[in-house]
Structure 1
């Protein structure tokens, strides 16, 4: 690897102006003196990898052509002498022997003939640079680089890396290799779980989470894969086994928050009560990290899951449902005020229409994680207000109309805000150029506004479920649903998610969060 110099730790504004930055966490002094909002700092992990996706894709396409030519040539009816001549030429050539074209499913180095590096190494570099930086696994490079992390983590990382590359290039040999590596990863993870010392390690929990990600990547049929649910339950069992010790380290608390997010969203989507084990651990987490936004939000989401499960089970009166849903919606509004103090966003009004933008409003978020947090808040409020609207039909007309109009207004606002969050992560270049605003707007030096096809993969994949949610809202306006359908189809095509076509083709107006499976990308 070529040394490219020590990466700058200055904020984006100071780096662009080539001035010294004091790197204060909440905003540097230089930006404050200029009376501008500090645009933030680079993620150091983002600078450890150079995006070689274009070169990888070019080499892969070339190897496909070579493999195809080789396969066609082997079927030609030629004389024995001619075959010997060709073999002699091949052996004297510095290129790979032609036999590698017929053994692509035996040894991984020949899966894509012509690559100068083993395919696992290419896939790993691609995965670490394209998916990891803006995903829930952005901590992975630091963990993976540590010695003695165990065979399970290494095996699962390689399996997921090859699966990710296989889906992107659509090569069957890569898909077969990914499944073989997955089988090995399962074996190594089970071996780690069988030993008490390794079962509770960070590396083993990460391995289980990566197995869930693998299931999401290879997912191809309607519904949720049974193995994804199995790995999710396994992760919950591990955080219970890890106990309060997991909150003694930042990575331990981070991993618990990741698991809690998966379980909470899955239970809301499936209309199940939050597992009592997770409720107990959440109380411990809030005790160790009071005021932590993710733990507070997980507790609120658990209340929504319990309400949906109770409604689905029957037995609640109309008044009880409305009181509970309205109370929860009020808690979310209150939580939004708290959230703005941590990760507020800016809203800009465009002076003219722009392709890929709904209406004339666009949001700018300090990070992809902030955008996802806000969209989780919006999707949950959509569910609550749909519940309020639908159960208000049991009230007298004099009371019903006002409640339903208020619920519809909330739903429409949440849907529009989700759509306003899309352009920052789908417009690949010149995002800040679409605005005619003051100079305090963070210019294109921001990491989240310079997204290539590859580097925006994880952030864009996490937009599919919010868009699907908007698409399924029967109370939203037709134009906002049409925008969601168009973006869902475009992004699904770009990132090879065929399930989006089924959703768009069906265009059903059911429960916005029900059974589309896209939430696996959202939490993985």
Structure 2
């Protein structure tokens, strides 16, 4: 039927929306933030992978051929509750890791539907990529770049080697045309060229299996920053360009934290110059300075710098202040055990309006968790060395035994609170029970915080056990080898990979 022009809250609640600006009457009555109104002429996607998979299975059971036509392809409205794919809804009793055979002529369509509807949901690509696909393109790189990411993500979900071959073929094609665009002074400044670089980085993150640093993703991230410098002030003229800038600067901050290096000063200068053009209320912009401080502190820890208690406390206070700036509609609501899911932690879970909001909160929690781990470690070192001759350098800022003991006990208490809050957000990344209650695709963002939590001996045994169980379940539900590898590394107490890039993507 005709797509609805109502705001998102009214569409979800199936209410009649009067479409008044700046907010509709229904949202005023319910005292919630109105999300605004979409362009009904823009292309929209619906995830058809489950329905196509079921149809294929029925055809196989009857012994018939795939008799599917192009009507299985849908460009309907994106749904807020993202469904699973064929591999998660097998009707023949097979293993969830086994790929479901799909007709070759529909592989690209189904992979695109999965990518646009499920994978990029709650990611930085969601606001602009689905609309971009149906537009006229200025370069030859954009379509193979999208197809490479779509085939790679769908191949990962279905564990289909043939799909991954298609993904790599499209990746090679996209890389070739992207390099041609970068060599052209005019094409290098296009939004599509920057999008291609970001998509190539996404591809590298998806195919990265562990055992080494995600060098491919890092290289594309650094390349994207160079493009920001070339694009200059003109890049802020459109909404999409501003979204791309925000996504890229978040990528580089993520990369710096992951590589344990401080954010380069020239990058900070670039962000400062761009600040008048950016949305100061956007969560990524608000949290940016805290990420910069966290990257600097993590680099100092990696370099063996001592006496970091005051620095960690300062970053933690900044993170707490940031929580006060979060808009009311992004707050979470606790649910008790009577109405919570099986993945509720300590009989309670937190409900968020969107999974994107849960990611923002978990980002703040992870920053604070790292700060309090630093405080605990450095206060413990100071307590051990304070009164030993020649070992006073650890106590230049706090040299009282009672003061050091207070900081260590406070850090231990805060870590328990943060681990509880983080684990109570896990159920937000589950599909509805009507769809099986499995982890949704965006649950990949849980791999990094769960791995950090499970690996740290400062966290409680119950939390670490719960985190490992979640990792195994995410790996099973999403066919993600990274989650299984993270769980095994944690249980075997091996050096764990830093999966931070999966959190942001």
Mark yes or no: TM-score above 0.5: yes
1:15 CA displacement: 6.4
1:509 CA displacement: 10
Pair 1:5-2:2 in alignment: yes
**Inter-partner Cα distance in structure 2 for 1:271 and 1:179:** 30
**Which residue number corresponds to residue 285 of structure 2?**
295
1:377 CA displacement: 0.6
1:283 CA displacement: 0.8
**Which residue number corresponds to residue 311 of structure 1?**
301
Q: Determine which of 97, 120, 132 is the counterpart of 2:108.
A: 120
**Inter-partner Cα distance in structure 2 for 1:117 and 1:324:** 57
Instruction: Specify whether residues 362 and 65 from structure 1 end up closer, same or farther in structure 2 by C-alpha distance, changes over 3 A only.
Output: same
**Inter-partner Cα distance in structure 1 for 2:445 and 2:499:** 8
Q: TM-score, normalised by structure 2?
A: 0.80
**Inter-partner Cα distance in structure 2 for 1:42 and 1:419:** 34
Equivalent residues in 2 for 1:348-497, closer than 5 Å: 348-351=335-338, 354-393=341-380, 394-395=382-383, 396-429=400-433, 456-457=440-441, 459-497=442-480
Q: TM-score, normalised by structure 1?
A: 0.78
1:206 CA displacement: 0.7
Q: Determine which of 176, 185, 190 is the counterpart of 1:187.
A: 176
Instruction: Specify whether residues 400 and 64 from structure 1 end up closer, same or farther in structure 2 by C-alpha distance, changes over 3 A only.
Output: farther
**Which residue number corresponds to residue 516 of structure 1?**
497
**Inter-partner Cα distance in structure 1 for 2:151 and 2:412:** 45
**Which residue number corresponds to residue 330 of structure 1?**
317
**Inter-partner Cα distance in structure 2 for 1:509 and 1:337:** 39
1:48 CA displacement: 2.2
Instruction: Specify whether residues 255 and 353 from structure 1 end up closer, same or farther in structure 2 by C-alpha distance, changes over 3 A only.
Output: closer
Give 5+ residue unaligned stretches, structure 2.
69-99, 384-399
**Which residue number corresponds to residue 16 of structure 2?**
19
Equivalent residues in 2 for 1:40-439, closer than 5 Å: 48-58=44-54, 115=103, 117-138=105-126, 139-289=128-278, 291-292=280-281, 293-314=283-304, 316-318=305-307, 321-341=308-328, 343-351=330-338, 354-393=341-380, 394-395=382-383, 396-429=400-433
1:227 CA displacement: 1.6
Contact 1:124 1:158 in 2 (8 A): yes
**Inter-partner Cα distance in structure 2 for 1:361 and 1:47:** 39
Instruction: Specify whether residues 242 and 515 from structure 1 end up closer, same or farther in structure 2 by C-alpha distance, changes over 3 A only.
Output: farther
Instruction: Specify whether residues 451 and 326 from structure 1 end up closer, same or farther in structure 2 by C-alpha distance, changes over 3 A only.
Output: farther
Contact 1:282 1:295 in 2 (8 A): no
1:132 CA displacement: 2.7
**Inter-partner Cα distance in structure 2 for 1:63 and 1:464:** 37
1:159 CA displacement: 1.2
1:245 CA displacement: 2.4
Instruction: Specify whether residues 301 and 117 from structure 1 end up closer, same or farther in structure 2 by C-alpha distance, changes over 3 A only.
Output: same
